[in-house]
Amino acid sequence: MDERKASLSLPVILAALSVWVLYMAAQLPEFIQRGQRLPGPRYFPTILSVFLLIAAGVELARYLRYRRSVSGEYGGALDRVRERLSMLRSSWGARSVGVILGTSVALVPVTQLIGFPLAGTAYGVLLMMRLKARWYSAVVVSVVVVIVITVVFGRLFRVPLPLGVIRYLL
């Protein structure tokens, strides 16, 4: 069996999510009409969480079966987790993913602070340089794209993109 299809993280995540949703759903009120208990707000999430809990069980069984079939090929689970973590730390790709996610999260407060034209350009330049582009092409592409977006969304579609300091220049 493919390792991707047998993973321990998937059943753990599914089980944790289901238990959490079941707990949260239990806090929701019941729906009683004329003394009769009817399907209320908790009904559908509960059904889905029970299904996902069963799915977690199936995935766990799948993982255990896979482990049995490859036993001896690998060391213990802890060793493999350590190995993965050290791979992630040293991997250029994993760090790039981290940079993209980090800058994307930071884009929102920075945009609110200095406006989209500047924040978007900085975001574009930073990411393109991280993704191995030359600095001048990073600047040209980012500036052009930000101008196109600002004109199309801001002017044509009247989307209120924060212009920030650029507003005073315009």
Partner 1 sequence: MDTLLVVLQPAVLIPWILAMLFGIFAGATPGLTATMATALIVPISYYMEPVAGLAMIIGATFTAIFAGDIPATYLRIPGTPASSAAILDGFEMNRQGKGGFALTLDLLCSSIGGMIGVAVLIMVAPLLARFALRFSSAEYFWLGLFGLSMSAVVSRGNTFRGIVSAALGMLISTVGMDVTTGHRRFTFGQLELLDGVGFIPAMIGLFGLSEVLKLASDQSILNQPSVQESGKISLIGALPTIWKHKITVLRSAIIGTLTGSLPGAGADIAAWVSYGVAKKTSRHPERFGTGSAEGVIAPTSANNAGLAGAWIPALVFGIPGDAVTAIVVGAMLMYGLRPGPLIFEETPEIVNGIFTIAVITQVLLIFAGILGIRAFGRILRLPRNAVMVIVLLFSAVGSFALENSFFDIYVMIAFGIVGFYMEKKDIPLPPLILGLILGPMVERNLRVGLVRTHGDFLPFFTRPISAVLAAALFVTLFGGPIWSFIKARLKRS
Cα-to-chain-centroid distance, residue 47:
25
Tell me the closest approach of the beta carbon of residue 75 to partner 1, in angstroms.
22
Q: Tell me which residues touch partner 1 (CB under 8 A).
A: 2, 4-5, 7, 9-10, 14, 17, 21, 24, 28-29, 31, 33, 36-41, 43-45, 48-49, 51-52, 55, 58, 91-94, 96-97, 100-101, 104-105, 107-108, 111-112, 116, 120, 123-124, 127-128, 131-133, 137, 141-142, 145-146, 149, 153, 157, 159-161
Query: Looking at beta carbons only, is 16 or 58 nearer to partner 1?
Result: 58
Q: How far is the CB of 70 from partner 1 (least distance, A)?
A: 17
The residues near 104 (Cβ < 8 Å, ≥ 6 apart) are 123
CB of 25 to partner 1, least distance (A): 8
Nearer to partner 1, 40 or 164 (CB): 40
CA–CA distance from 69 to each of 3, 38, 63 (Å)? 11, 47, 10
The residue among 144, 116, 139, 117 whose CA lies nearest residue 128 is 139
Query: 9 vs 90, which CB is nearer to partner 1?
Result: 9
Q: If DSSP codes are grouped into helix, strand and coil, which group holds residue 101?
A: helix
Q: How far is the CB of 157 from partner 1 (least distance, A)?
A: 6
Phi, psi (5° rounding) for residue 38?
A: -120, 165
Enumerate residues 6+ apart whose C-beta is below 8 A from 169: none
CB of 93 to partner 1, least distance (A): 3
**Contact predicate 142/107, CB 8 Å:** no
